[in-house]
Amino acid sequence: MTTGITHHIPQPLLVAYASGALPHPFALVVASHISLCDECRAQAVAHDHAGGAVLEELSGSDLSEGLKGDVLALLDAPRVQARPQGRVGPYPGPVMEALKGAPPRWKRMGLGTRQTILHDGPEGSVRLLYIPAGQAVPDHGHNGLELTLVLQGAFRDETGRFGPGDLEVADDALEHTPVAEPGEPCICLAATDASLRFSSFVPRLLQPLFRI
Protein backbone atom coordinates (compact mmCIF):
# COMPACT_ATOMS: atom_id res chain seq x y z
CA MET A 1 0.00 0.00 0.00
CA THR A 2 1.15 3.54 -0.82
CA THR A 3 -0.11 6.37 1.38
CA GLY A 4 -0.79 9.93 0.28
CA ILE A 5 -2.30 9.05 -3.10
CA THR A 6 -4.38 11.98 -4.38
CA HIS A 7 -4.84 11.17 -8.10
CA HIS A 8 -6.96 8.07 -8.62
CA ILE A 9 -8.44 6.04 -11.49
CA PRO A 10 -11.45 7.71 -13.15
CA GLN A 11 -14.60 5.60 -12.80
CA PRO A 12 -14.99 4.83 -16.55
CA LEU A 13 -11.48 3.34 -16.62
CA LEU A 14 -12.13 1.39 -13.42
CA VAL A 15 -15.36 -0.07 -14.85
CA ALA A 16 -13.61 -0.95 -18.12
CA TYR A 17 -10.83 -2.70 -16.18
CA ALA A 18 -13.31 -4.64 -14.03
CA SER A 19 -15.18 -5.78 -17.15
CA GLY A 20 -11.98 -6.85 -18.91
CA ALA A 21 -12.46 -4.28 -21.68
CA LEU A 22 -9.21 -2.32 -21.22
CA PRO A 23 -6.38 -2.96 -23.69
CA HIS A 24 -3.38 -4.65 -22.08
CA PRO A 25 -1.13 -1.55 -21.78
CA PHE A 26 -3.78 0.42 -19.89
CA ALA A 27 -4.86 -2.63 -17.88
CA LEU A 28 -1.28 -3.04 -16.62
CA VAL A 29 -1.18 0.57 -15.40
CA VAL A 30 -4.63 0.35 -13.77
CA ALA A 31 -3.80 -2.99 -12.10
CA SER A 32 -0.55 -1.52 -10.78
CA HIS A 33 -2.37 1.50 -9.30
CA ILE A 34 -4.98 -0.78 -7.72
CA SER A 35 -2.14 -2.81 -6.19
CA LEU A 36 -0.92 0.35 -4.44
CA CYS A 37 -4.24 2.03 -3.60
CA ASP A 38 -6.69 0.66 -1.03
CA GLU A 39 -9.44 3.03 -2.17
CA CYS A 40 -9.38 2.04 -5.84
CA ARG A 41 -8.89 -1.64 -4.98
CA ALA A 42 -12.10 -1.59 -2.91
CA GLN A 43 -13.96 0.09 -5.77
CA ALA A 44 -12.64 -2.48 -8.27
CA VAL A 45 -13.85 -5.32 -6.04
CA ALA A 46 -17.27 -3.64 -5.81
CA HIS A 47 -17.46 -3.40 -9.62
CA ASP A 48 -16.52 -7.08 -9.91
CA HIS A 49 -19.32 -8.05 -7.51
CA ALA A 50 -21.83 -5.80 -9.27
CA GLY A 51 -20.94 -7.33 -12.63
CA GLY A 52 -21.39 -10.84 -11.23
CA ALA A 53 -24.80 -9.92 -9.81
CA VAL A 54 -25.93 -8.55 -13.18
CA LEU A 55 -24.84 -11.72 -14.97
CA GLU A 56 -26.76 -13.88 -12.51
CA GLU A 57 -29.95 -11.91 -13.21
CA LEU A 58 -29.72 -12.23 -17.00
CA SER A 59 -31.87 -14.83 -18.69
CA GLY A 60 -30.05 -17.47 -20.69
CA SER A 61 -30.04 -17.71 -24.49
CA ASP A 62 -28.67 -20.17 -27.02
CA LEU A 63 -25.42 -19.34 -28.78
CA SER A 64 -24.20 -20.48 -32.16
CA GLU A 65 -21.09 -22.66 -32.03
CA GLY A 66 -18.97 -19.86 -33.49
CA LEU A 67 -20.22 -17.23 -31.06
CA LYS A 68 -19.94 -19.67 -28.18
CA GLY A 69 -16.28 -20.25 -29.03
CA ASP A 70 -15.61 -16.51 -29.21
CA VAL A 71 -17.25 -15.93 -25.81
CA LEU A 72 -15.30 -18.76 -24.18
CA ALA A 73 -12.07 -17.41 -25.65
CA LEU A 74 -12.79 -14.01 -24.13
CA LEU A 75 -13.51 -15.59 -20.76
CA ASP A 76 -10.28 -17.59 -20.94
CA ALA A 77 -8.16 -14.57 -21.87
CA PRO A 78 -6.03 -13.61 -18.85
CA ARG A 79 -6.78 -10.24 -17.28
CA VAL A 80 -3.91 -8.35 -15.74
CA GLN A 81 -4.44 -8.92 -12.03
CA ALA A 82 -3.92 -6.32 -9.31
CA ARG A 83 -1.59 -7.93 -6.79
CA PRO A 84 -0.86 -6.05 -3.54
CA GLN A 85 1.77 -8.71 -2.82
CA GLY A 86 4.86 -9.29 -4.90
CA ARG A 87 6.18 -5.73 -4.81
CA VAL A 88 9.95 -5.44 -5.24
CA GLY A 89 11.40 -1.99 -4.55
CA PRO A 90 9.20 0.55 -6.33
CA TYR A 91 7.72 -2.05 -8.71
CA PRO A 92 4.25 -3.43 -7.81
CA GLY A 93 3.25 -7.04 -8.44
CA PRO A 94 1.80 -6.55 -11.97
CA VAL A 95 4.97 -4.79 -13.11
CA MET A 96 7.18 -7.53 -11.64
CA GLU A 97 5.11 -10.08 -13.56
CA ALA A 98 5.62 -8.09 -16.76
CA LEU A 99 9.36 -8.01 -15.99
CA LYS A 100 9.26 -11.78 -15.32
CA GLY A 101 10.79 -11.13 -11.92
CA ALA A 102 13.96 -9.56 -13.32
CA PRO A 103 15.21 -5.97 -12.89
CA PRO A 104 14.35 -3.52 -15.70
CA ARG A 105 16.73 -3.54 -18.67
CA TRP A 106 17.10 0.20 -19.13
CA LYS A 107 17.78 1.76 -22.53
CA ARG A 108 19.27 5.25 -22.53
CA MET A 109 17.26 8.05 -24.13
CA GLY A 110 19.60 10.98 -23.42
CA LEU A 111 20.06 13.47 -20.56
CA GLY A 112 20.01 10.59 -18.08
CA THR A 113 16.50 9.50 -19.03
CA ARG A 114 15.97 5.77 -19.64
CA GLN A 115 13.14 3.44 -20.57
CA THR A 116 12.19 -0.23 -20.53
CA ILE A 117 9.42 -1.20 -22.95
CA LEU A 118 7.19 -3.85 -21.34
CA HIS A 119 4.75 -4.26 -24.23
CA ASP A 120 4.32 -2.75 -27.69
CA GLY A 121 1.50 -3.83 -29.98
CA PRO A 122 -1.40 -2.64 -32.16
CA GLU A 123 -3.45 -1.69 -29.06
CA GLY A 124 -0.69 0.51 -27.63
CA SER A 125 2.50 0.37 -25.60
CA VAL A 126 3.50 0.43 -21.95
CA ARG A 127 6.93 1.23 -20.58
CA LEU A 128 8.89 2.10 -17.47
CA LEU A 129 10.48 5.55 -17.53
CA TYR A 130 13.43 6.62 -15.39
CA ILE A 131 13.77 10.42 -15.15
CA PRO A 132 16.65 11.92 -13.14
CA ALA A 133 15.76 14.39 -10.39
CA GLY A 134 15.25 17.88 -11.82
CA GLN A 135 15.11 16.63 -15.41
CA ALA A 136 12.23 17.72 -17.69
CA VAL A 137 10.50 15.54 -20.26
CA PRO A 138 10.33 17.48 -23.56
CA ASP A 139 7.14 19.48 -24.06
CA HIS A 140 4.55 17.31 -25.80
CA GLY A 141 0.89 16.70 -26.52
CA HIS A 142 -0.99 13.48 -27.20
CA ASN A 143 -2.69 11.87 -30.18
CA GLY A 144 -4.65 9.57 -27.90
CA LEU A 145 -4.81 8.50 -24.26
CA GLU A 146 -1.83 8.33 -21.92
CA LEU A 147 -1.85 6.90 -18.39
CA THR A 148 1.19 7.65 -16.22
CA LEU A 149 1.59 6.04 -12.80
CA VAL A 150 4.36 7.27 -10.49
CA LEU A 151 6.22 4.42 -8.78
CA GLN A 152 9.08 6.40 -7.21
CA GLY A 153 9.89 10.07 -6.75
CA ALA A 154 7.52 12.70 -8.12
CA PHE A 155 6.95 15.04 -11.04
CA ARG A 156 5.09 18.26 -11.65
CA ASP A 157 3.45 19.61 -14.78
CA GLU A 158 0.79 22.10 -15.79
CA THR A 159 -1.92 20.06 -14.03
CA GLY A 160 -0.26 19.59 -10.61
CA ARG A 161 2.03 17.32 -8.61
CA PHE A 162 2.14 13.53 -8.92
CA GLY A 163 3.85 11.40 -6.28
CA PRO A 164 4.12 7.64 -5.64
CA GLY A 165 0.85 5.87 -6.50
CA ASP A 166 -0.64 8.90 -8.29
CA LEU A 167 -2.11 8.38 -11.76
CA GLU A 168 -2.14 11.10 -14.41
CA VAL A 169 -4.67 10.72 -17.24
CA ALA A 170 -3.78 12.75 -20.33
CA ASP A 171 -5.67 13.04 -23.61
CA ASP A 172 -5.34 15.05 -26.82
CA ALA A 173 -6.42 18.22 -25.00
CA LEU A 174 -3.33 18.27 -22.75
CA GLU A 175 0.06 19.64 -23.70
CA HIS A 176 2.56 19.55 -20.86
CA THR A 177 6.19 19.50 -19.74
CA PRO A 178 6.60 17.06 -16.83
CA VAL A 179 9.58 17.86 -14.59
CA ALA A 180 10.96 15.39 -12.03
CA GLU A 181 11.18 16.90 -8.55
CA PRO A 182 14.51 17.20 -6.69
CA GLY A 183 15.48 14.18 -4.61
CA GLU A 184 15.36 10.62 -5.86
CA PRO A 185 14.87 9.81 -9.57
CA CYS A 186 11.28 9.63 -10.79
CA ILE A 187 10.24 6.19 -12.06
CA CYS A 188 6.91 5.98 -13.87
CA LEU A 189 4.83 3.36 -15.64
CA ALA A 190 3.33 4.93 -18.77
CA ALA A 191 0.88 3.53 -21.33
CA THR A 192 -0.20 5.13 -24.61
CA ASP A 193 -2.41 4.09 -27.51
CA ALA A 194 -0.96 6.61 -30.00
CA SER A 195 2.28 8.46 -30.61
CA LEU A 196 3.10 11.65 -28.71
CA ARG A 197 3.20 15.10 -30.32
CA PHE A 198 6.55 16.70 -29.50
CA SER A 199 7.01 20.43 -29.96
CA SER A 200 10.77 20.33 -30.60
CA PHE A 201 12.54 18.95 -33.66
CA VAL A 202 15.05 16.64 -31.93
CA PRO A 203 12.44 14.62 -29.93
CA ARG A 204 10.37 14.25 -33.12
CA LEU A 205 13.48 13.00 -34.95
CA LEU A 206 14.17 10.39 -32.25
CA GLN A 207 10.56 9.17 -31.92
CA PRO A 208 10.91 6.15 -34.26
CA LEU A 209 14.08 5.03 -32.44
CA PHE A 210 12.49 5.17 -28.97
CA ARG A 211 9.03 4.01 -30.20
CA ILE A 212 7.18 6.86 -28.49
What separation in angstroms does the CA of 139 have from each of 59, 67, 124, 157, 169? 52, 46, 21, 10, 16
With 0-12 CB in 10 A as exposed, 13-18 as middle and 19+ as buried, what is 33? buried
Give a three-class secondary structure readout of the chain: CCCCCCCCCCHHHHHHHHHCCCCHHHHHHHHHHHHHCHHHHHHHHHHHHHHHHHHHHCCCCCCCHHHHHHHHHHHHCCCCCCCCCCCECCECHHHHHHCCCCCCCCEEEECCEEEEEEEEECCEEEEEEEECCCCECCCEEECCCEEEEEEECCEEECCEEECCCCEEEECCCCCECCEECCCCCEEEEEEECCCEEECCHHHHHHHHHHCC
Model pLDDT, residue 197 = 86
CA pair distance 101, 29, nearest whole angstrom: 17
Give me the tens of pLDDT residue by residue for the chain, a chain 212 residues long.
Answer: 677 999 999 999 999 999 999 999 999 999 999 999 999 999 999 987 665 444 345 455 554 565 445 444 444 445 688 877 789 999 999 999 999 999 999 999 988 999 999 999 999 999 999 999 999 999 999 999 999 999 999 999 999 999 999 999 999 999 999 999 999 999 999 999 998 888 887 777 777 777 88
Map out the domains of the chain with their CATH numbers: 7-212 (2.60.120.10)
